Structure 1
Amino acid sequence: METASAEIPDPPPVARRTLLRGSAIAGLGAFVSSSSVFAAPDPASGGPEPSADGLLLTKFRDPLRTPPVLRPRDRGGHDELTVRMRTADVTVHSELPAVRMWTYEGSYPGPTIETVRGRRLRVTWENGLTGSIPVTAVEFGRPGAPMPDPLSNYPGTQGCQDVAAVAGLEPWAAVHLHGMLTGGGNDGWMENLLAPGEVQLSAYPNDQAATTLWYHDHTHHVSRFSVYAGLAGLFVSRNDEERALDLPRGRHEVPLVLSDRNFALDGSGALTGRLVHKVEMVGTKLMRAHAAPYTLVNGVVWPYLEVQPRWYRFRIVNTANSRIYRLMLLADGRPVPGALQVIGTDQGLIDRPLPVDGALNLSSGERADVLVDFSPFRGRSVKLVNTMEGVTPGDSSTRHDLLEPDVMQFRVAGRGSTGRFTLPKTLSPTFRRPTHHDLPHGGRPRWVVLVGPGTANVPELWEMEEMEQSEAEGITLPSAGIVQVEDAEGTVTTLRRTAMHYDDGNAFTVAHRGVEIWKYLNLAASPHPMHIHLAHFHVLSRENYDVTGFDRVVRGSARPVSFLGAAQLEAHELGEKDTVRVGTAGQIVPGPNGTPGEMVTVAVRFPVVGRGVHHCHMLEHEQHMVRPLVVGPAAHRHAGGHHH
């Protein structure tokens, strides 16, 4: 397989920034064939293990890396930082040649930017990328239903065809700090692109709760390839409230940046390290959600981490293009209920720790702050695994792109102090869920309906408006773009589509400092993580709906989609968020409307102004399921009367 031949620029002088902790790029180890003989692992203490057949790499051979930390410089009234994008060769597994990637500061993931709440931050994002995109994009498929064991489960490009116009993509960039409340001019607008040698200057108020955000490329139309090429990193803010808790810190506070990747093979069948973005096309060229067989944590394929028998804090971030991670901790092959204690969500600490009894479900873009006590596993090993409903935790499922379910291994020391940490009963005394009195009353909610593929064979995002009853009575059903919804009280609301494509106009226009109710209704068979720029929100409810009344051919309701029952919010959905999954997180049931429909209602606040977007954060869906969003001063909307 041909590899990129662009010259890699020298790293920038260290004097220009403060890199704390060692570089995330490890030296390239000796190549070891996947068939190499190694000692059988002790099931108690852990060790390397063979991966699933066909994946050619050993699990748990390489230690987990911690991304380097980058702290800004104090400039008096604000802090400053320069982050450079550059092409680099990154080691992701000791049995794999170095992988050519587009990176921030030469590492994948990029350095963790660490700040203090209230310190205004100005970042200069420099585009120093070279060469064409270091990703081979291919697709495969056959008429009819999806394959029971799709080629995306395995490395290589055999049986695939190239995706047009990807190989020559030049290194344009646009940086979005996901979850930061900043004006539209600093948000990394996806069409304000940087050419190599140019810079993006962004000012971040940095006046929000201590939490974990992440930054990534947001280039319109190609973010699924540019993020896959390596353009992602963490952003951590801290405050006094968090420090007062005396949570695990230092080497006991560990980021876990989750992603998945695939690689090319050479003529002999050996892995080359070339990134391969491979998707299955079903029927008349309908793209399935992207899923790759190799799970990376902090840029290492199936790593291990040696831990002490004590409490640890993990900042877990799903940066995968589309994959939903349903995470469980397994000991002796069995799930450990309550092992993951959620203390924070996308936007900071919650009021008290909440145990996860099943799986921790994180869709693309979501984050969770969790605590784990390893003292019950002294001298043993435990695994973090990805799971699927209907599949025994730890087992594989080729049909559901879960050939290798293992994520990473924790090797718990037999000796060592358990530390003095005690799980606090109260985390954030300032946190509270919105009450009835906090919500807007009297106005109509915004409606966003998520629909399966139409004539263009791509999923669709419909912005809707409620119709007056007199208007609705004259409509013949089913009609294209008309959806009726029957709620728990039996009230039927008729919705009319107002926009679908990115350039349809009629953008949602929101009042600055306003609070709105948004209702996401998923009529499709696939879950969608929905992200709103320039805003944060609380998830109010999750409800199941019967969506069999939606006519997928006509693209409208033959009869109302109707309420089935309330669903439970998960622990990491009870805090403030910027991304929420709409649709079931587990197994997708086959059939025309196999997955129960779902409605998720959120209360959104808009503290900043400007032009942004709201969209699906499955990057393969982003270019189709994206709409503009404008937040402006309320007075400006009415100034000058109606002369214009």
Structure 2
Amino acid sequence: MEPTHPEGNDLPGPNRRTVLRYGSVAGLAAMAAAVPAFTRSGAAAVAAPGAPEPSAAGLMLTKFRDPLRRPPVLRPRERGDHDELTVRMRTADVTLHSELPPVTMWTYEGVYPGPTIETVSGRPLRVAWENHLTGDIPVTAVDFGQAKGPMTDPLSNYPGAEGCQEVPGVAAMPPWGAAHLHGMLTGGGNDGWMENLIGPGDVQLSAYPNAQAATTLWYHDHTHHLSRFSVYAGLAGLFVSRNAEERALGLPKGAHDVPLILGDRNFVTDAAGALTGRLLHKVEMVGAQRLMRPHAAPYTLVNGVIWPYLEVDPRWYRFRIVNTANSRIYRLMLLADGVPVPGAFQVIGTDHGLIDRPVAVDGAINLSPGERVDVLVDFSAFRGRAVKLVNTLQGVAPGAPDRRNDLLEPDVMQFRVADRKPSKRFTLPEVLSPTFKRLTHDDLPHDRGHRWIVTVGPGTGNMPELWEMEEIDPAGLAFPAAGVVQVRDAAGTVTTLRRTSMAYDDGNTITTAHGGTEIWKYLNLTAAPHPMHIHLAHFQVMSRESYDITGFDRIARGSARPIAFRAASALEPHELGEKDVIRVGTAGQIVPGPNGTPGELVTVAVRFPVVGRGVHHCHMLEHEQHMMRPLVVTPAAHLHGGGHH
């Protein structure tokens, strides 16, 4: 396949065949590190503003010292009616910051993030995922906590394992893996089934129809119940498909079409307190019950660089932002001179491609793990200035820290805008994708019941739970009853739900018809939001509503009185398109108390265009082990084959 435009994102120097054939981990990694962040055609170099800054006390590394890198691009080879590509998992030493020793990581093709796989939509793709990993997992896993409750300044805000204890069973984890192309609509046999692991010397062969719209997906390891460590070790990369509809828009391209792959990491320190570069997975276990808080690390990486800077021209840029963090939700704002820039982001696409028209963001973009957003940013008003991308929390001044809530260092990256005449080559399109259609009431099924998925706080296993539910008649029930939840909607109608499955290996697997559409209702009864992901499917978000969840008895594990509707909430701009991950629960809001956070009910219309066995789960990787359930999509005729129902 050839580049879809003349300003391709290939590595300069060697052609694509050379890149595809690189056999040396050090070779490809060195090539990627040597690539400048951007090349300017016919433009004289202009000194950009901005400068390095010290990071928060205790973090030791300088912010905005290193330029943003762009992952190398891999394009498949044409093979008649399909394309082929080989991607190798390799152990490599990676430079994440110029003041940090090289970090040993598990990678794809020796770089972190892995190479961006770039394809043309409509060309079927076959990928051989080869496992060349060596050694045990390069991650030290520890936890910490105190019996009296959460810390006001958790140890996870800082590097080092002092005051922690090692998590057993991680240090000697061998290099098995399962590659999952997140968001690709492919059959269950090609989806990277998390229990079909490949060891060193083995290969996973996956065929992808690649029949989706032009979009940004990502690939990552999906090792059963252990991906919180394998993805943290570095097994993640970007996948981009393009098509004629997208090209016709004249969107920023080449050096002005930039991936921003977000993640966070922590590191071990030596006896003198200096950073060693060894990856450290550190989580807080709260109270005598040792309840695990969502993972959060103090160092923010963009494209594998800690707090990078990017020199930009005073013109429009396209940013494909992907949250690859284990559990952190990024609430992103652009600040100029410490003040939020209103309408800085124009959302043009979501998880599965372009939306119908650009939508300006008022406030922040809330991006939970696994979600993607495609945005345009115009830097014309900032020529000769530096602006920052920051992570923030609701109720906290943008750009300010909040140690208690894992935000010791809010800065993500710096943009240095050249002091030159702004480019007028691009005009924001009024229409983006004429083929995209928002579903309406008439498009939804009304002849069958809804699927109910309820997320619940820690139970007997001291972990949050995911409950699959069925509607029942409440006659004869005494409340609260374990596993029974009543919901009163906006019209006052009360629905009684009973838990049918909870653990991964419980029976009653959801089985649905290929080509069908279902309404899934996600009800969050926990004190934290959860990003819910469905394999083998894509969906549109129909509504987001807040609910009073104080009627849920957390001891009895059922509702003492109905969970009651409070108000409808607006969907965020990046929730208006086709998606495969949706956050259920308020993002970035800090409300104390076990029932402090408002409950949320999010309704999605799910379509199932492929068949096979998959899963649906929370994409906070620390929750996968306890918040994952199987899902089977089968040909409609098979649902009742042989007279079985």
Are 1:172 and 2:176 matched, yes or no? yes
CA shift for structure 1 position 418: 1.2
- Equivalent of 1:124 in 128, 152, 164: 128
Distance 1:373 1:395 in 2: 24
- Equivalent of 1:306 in 287, 308, 311: 311
- Look up the match of 1:10: none
Amino acid at match of 2:293: R
Segment of structure 1 superposing worse, 363-372 or 141-150: 141-150
Distance 1:558 1:640 in 2: 43
- Look up the match of 1:390: 395
Distance 2:88 2:239 in 1: 15
- Look up the match of 2:535: 533
- Counterpart contact for 2:29–2:111, Cα < 8 Å: no
Distance 1:106 1:373 in 2: 34
Distance 2:507 2:475 in 1: 27
Amino acid at match of 2:342: P
- Look up the match of 1:81: 85
- Look up the match of 1:68: 72
Are 1:233 and 2:237 matched, yes or no? yes
- Look up the match of 2:578: 576
- Equivalent of 1:186 in 186, 190, 193: 190
Matches within 5 A, 1:442-591: 442-468=447-473, 472-591=474-593
- Equivalent of 1:106 in 90, 110, 126: 110
Distance 1:417 1:376, change over 3 A: closer
- Look up the match of 2:33: 26
- Look up the match of 1:627: 629
Distance 2:166 2:371 in 1: 31
- Look up the match of 1:90: 94
Distance 1:100 1:138 in 2: 18
- Look up the match of 2:38: none
Distance 1:27 1:117, change over 3 A: closer
**What's the C-alpha RMSD, in Å, of the aligned pairs?**
1.6
Are 1:640 and 2:628 matched, yes or no? no
1:286-325 alpha-carbon deviations (Å, 9 max, x no partner): 1000000000000000000000000000000000000000
- Look up the match of 1:7: none
Amino acid at match of 2:526: A
1:170-223 alpha-carbon deviations (Å, 9 max, x no partner): 000000000000000000000000010000000000000100000000001210
CA shift for structure 1 position 22: 8.3
SS of 1:476's partner is coil
Provide TM-score, normalisation by structure 2. Answer: 0.94
Segment of structure 1 superposing worse, 412-421 or 46-55: 412-421
Distance 1:210 1:588 in 2: 37
- Look up the match of 1:213: 217
Distance 1:197 1:182 in 2: 25
- Equivalent of 2:256 in 248, 252, 258: 252
- Equivalent of 1:138 in 136, 142, 163: 142
- Counterpart contact for 2:351–2:580, Cα < 8 Å: yes
SS of 2:546's partner is strand
CA shift for structure 1 position 70: 0.3
CA shift for structure 1 position 537: 0.1
Distance 1:420 1:23 in 2: 34
Distance 1:426 1:508 in 2: 38
1:396-441 alpha-carbon deviations (Å, 9 max, x no partner): 0000100000000000000144141000111001111001111001
Distance 1:250 1:461, change over 3 A: same
Distance 1:328 1:458 in 2: 32
Amino acid at match of 2:457: G
Distance 1:26 1:355 in 2: 34
CA shift for structure 1 position 442: 2.1
- Counterpart contact for 1:23–1:68, Cα < 8 Å: no
Distance 1:205 1:106 in 2: 27
- Look up the match of 1:330: 335
SS of 1:292's partner is coil
- Look up the match of 2:43: none
Distance 1:300 1:16, change over 3 A: closer
Are 1:611 and 2:616 matched, yes or no? no
- Counterpart contact for 2:55–2:61, Cα < 8 Å: yes
SS of 2:241's partner is strand
Distance 1:504 1:151 in 2: 36
SS of 2:239's partner is strand
CA shift for structure 1 position 24: 6.5
Distance 1:238 1:623 in 2: 35
Distance 1:16 1:377, change over 3 A: closer
- Look up the match of 2:280: 276
Amino acid at match of 2:411: D
Provide TM-score, normalisation by structure 1. Answer: 0.94
- Counterpart contact for 2:28–2:111, Cα < 8 Å: no
Distance 1:335 1:21 in 2: 39
- Look up the match of 1:223: 227
Are 1:361 and 2:363 matched, yes or no? no
Distance 2:146 2:376 in 1: 45
- Equivalent of 1:17 in 13, 17, 20: 20
Structure 1 stretches of 4+ with a deviation exceeding 2 A read 13-16, 18-28
Unmatched 5+ stretches in structure 2: 1-15, 36-47
SS of 1:372's partner is strand
Unmatched 5+ stretches in structure 1: 1-12, 29-43
Distance 2:395 2:336 in 1: 20
CA shift for structure 1 position 519: 0.1
1:601-622 alpha-carbon deviations (Å, 9 max, x no partner): 0000000000000000000001
- Look up the match of 1:411: 416
Identity of aligned residues (%): 76
CA shift for structure 1 position 473: 1.5
SS of 1:640's partner is helix
